[in-house]
Amino acid sequence: MTSEPSRISRRIAAIAESATLKVDAKAKALQAQGRPVISYAAGEPDFVTPSNVVDAASAAVLDPRNYRYTPAAGLPELREAIAVKTLRDSGLAVDASQVVVTNGGKQAVYQAFATLVDDGDEVILPSPYWTTYPEVIKLAGGVPVEVFAGADQGYLVTVEQLEAARTPKTKLLVFVSPSNPTGAVYSPEQTAAIGQWALEHGIWVITDEIYQNLVYSPADSPDSPPVKAVSIVEAVPDLANQAILVNGVAKSYAMTGWRLGWMVGPADAIKGAANLQSHLSSNVSNISQRAALAALTGPQETVELMRQAFQRRRNVIIEELNKIDGVVAPMPDGAFYAYADVRALLGRSWGGVIATSSLELADLILEQAEVAVVPGEAFGPSGYLRLSYALGDEPLLEGIQRLQQLFA
Ligand code: GLU
């Protein structure tokens, strides 16, 4: 028997469509058909982009300087502004040459793994993880090694768990705080312990800091300041030579559609990533870059108002979710996701249908309650649902009430 040559590459054939984008697209398509679907699917703020940012973009459209190719790694003034932000928020002093501006944080994630991972390298991936990481690790030829932390440990992995997963092939750790999908934030002490462990073992860290400014007051003391998501390179400064920071304007500035992210790291890794980008996509749209410059250097009041709205919505969604018998939703300190443990709802009959996995449960919820949520299978083990609370206050509450009725 002759084996058919495969039509598309094995690497591409092995990856799945982004589950978050898939559920989001399905919800939006149903809404377009007139179905009253309430969507907690994509992590996408419902706010409009701040007006000073939109004004800067409008001016940029009229400025012929922006009509031509610019340096692939980004506009010099934007790279400078990102360096300033990195020092302010991540405690890391970098030169503008250590920044690459990317088409959204997602491209920075892709380029970071592509730059560091060789065939067979193991990448320790705390789970639940954002749906894109394992696919990108595999695309780079790496092997994701999942380390699971459940609701009982606040979705936070320990150094002991990481150490148990370490082998001579371990190249890299993924560290995300606040986490997508759980919203969990590591304490400064936990962050330092994990960073110290990586440093001692010569393990690179890719740290995704896209939610670093979306942090909230502790639930038990609502009047105190928000918790701080300390950057792992601030907690362990010596780690800077083996760490890549990923970030972007999408989440804090309500700019998901502008596609503007970046990566920051040591000179050799950043040079490599910039070389890759020079072949892959060249410069990010100059209009988006000018808009991001305005976002980072302009007034920040709107950003703070959005953060406060997310904090209010967090309190509502967690309180309401936990009223459902069989749902355990820990209070997250950051990002805009509730990650509910729904294992107790599985195997039971709801409206005549039995869901045996969170994938089936999410389908059942969409079918019977017209509510879109992302099943835990997109982020690791079955038995969980992710709900983004970046939607308006009214639909936010109505959707949970539909769930309360469905599971009454
Ligand atoms: N990062 C967001 C989410 O997790 C947007 C969708 C995506 O890029 O995966 O929902």
Token digits for 244?
Answer: 């890549």
Question: Residue 18: CB within 6 Å of ligand 1?
Answer: yes
CATH of 65-297, one of 3.40.640.10, 3.30.360.10, 3.10.20.740, 3.40.50.720: 3.40.640.10
**Residue 351 exposure: Cα atoms within 13 Å on the Cβ side:** 13
Question: Residue 39: CB within 6 Å of ligand 1?
Answer: no
Given this model, what pLDDT does residue 1 score?
A: 53
- Measured by CA distance, the residue closest to atom 9 of ligand 1 is 20
Measure 388 CA to ligand 1 centroid, in angstroms. 10
Question: Residue 20: CB within 6 Å of ligand 1?
Answer: yes
Kindly indicate whether the domain formed by 10-48+302-406 is annotated with CATH number 2.60.40.420.
Answer: no
Using the structure block, give the residue that is written with the tokens 């690790």.
137
Q: How far apart, in whole angstroms, are the C-alpha atoms of residue 7 and residue 41?
A: 33
Q: Give the start-to-end residue ranges of the domains of the chain.
A: 10-48+302-406, 65-297
- Measured by CA distance, the residue closest to atom 1 of ligand 1 is 43
Given this model, what pLDDT does residue 219 score?
A: 81
Measure 351 CA to ligand 1 centroid, in angstroms. 30
Q: How far apart, in whole angstroms, are the C-alpha atoms of residue 303 and residue 43?
A: 16
Q: What is the mean pLDDT of each run of 10 residues along the chain (408 residues)?
A: 76 89 89 94 93 98 97 98 98 98 98 98 98 96 97 96 98 98 98 98 98 93 92 98 98 97 98 98 98 97 94 96 96 97 95 92 94 96 97 95 95
Given this model, what pLDDT does residue 345 score?
A: 97
